[in-house]
Amino acid sequence: MKANITDITDQNFTQTVLEASQPVLVDFWAPWCGPCKAISPTVDALATDYTGQITVGKCNVDDNPDIPAKYGIRSVPTVVLFREGRVFEQITGLVNRGKLEKVIRNAINGQAATAPFVVH
């Protein structure tokens, strides 16, 4: 895991995500998932570009089944942005950087989510 990416687990989820003082982008992924591997460099780049503004974490759904089940994650990759302990926006599937950045900017700037549950 890269230095600016937090490993999100069933055990640290509440403290790391729900109690965070800034928005948290969580990439729910699995090691066998091709689209997960394809979106990973984008998520890594966003973690670098938005350091200090958001926290970026990755949650391996195979190793941590409780949190994905609680939030209805049935497909990977799914990227969920949490703000103030709640789901701000959820995007499923391989999406481009621009879409993820728009969600991040909306959360940082206090704007409304564009579509809290988008499925591609």
Catalytic residue list contains 33: yes
The one-character DSSP state at 93 is S
Residue 59 annotated among the catalytic residues of the structure: no
Phi-psi region of 35 (alpha: psi -120 to 50; beta: other; left: phi over 0): alpha
The catalytic residue among 5, 33, 76, 81 is: 33
CA distances from 103 to 3, 21, 38, 63 (A): 23, 17, 19, 27
DSSP 112: P
Quick one: tokens of 26?
């969580």
Of 67, 68, 32, 54, nearest to 100 by C-alpha is 54
Task: Single out the catalytic residue among 8, 36, 59, 81.
Answer: 36
Just list the catalytic residues: 33, 36
